[in-house]
Every structure is written in C-alpha cells, then in structure tokens.
Structure 1
C-alpha cells in the first residue's frame, strides 16, 4: 500500500484486491496488532 500510494485505493490497481481481502480477514480473525500480541504471549 505504501509503495503504490493513493492509486492502491482505486479499483484500477491490482493491489486493491489484496487490501479488500485484508479488511475481510481482519474482521474474521482480528486486527493484526492483536494477533501479534497473542502470538508473543503464547
């Protein structure tokens, strides 16, 4: 995302699909920061 800049937010960029999938998985599995904290405590 940071490499592509605002263009990554448009539907014209191939990376847009990855951003959408990450948002869906964050809802399903939890936020990445929470997952990292859980894995460090294990």
Structure 2
C-alpha cells in the first residue's frame, strides 16, 4: 500500500492514515531496529 502517513513520537501510540486499498501480500519493513530479543515467525508479541 502506498501513501501511508505515520505521526507521533517514538515509543508512543502512532496515528496512521492511508489512501487506497490494502495489498493482498504482507509487506514488512524495519523502521527502527532495536537491541532486544529477535521476533521470529509465529512468536506472540
């Protein structure tokens, strides 16, 4: 999905807005790499 806006301070609940229809495919992008435990497929977070 394109045209996504995210507002808010890091560590706070974000405000999301987007135009268009959701993609049929899952798209994952790391926005801020942390230094905690690695989250693996199937993990509950």
TM norm structure 1: 0.22
Between Structure 1 and Structure 2, the one with more helix by share is 1
RCO comparison, higher one (Cα < 8 Å, 6+): 2
Q: Which has the higher strand share?
A: 2
TM-score normalised to structure 2 length: 0.21
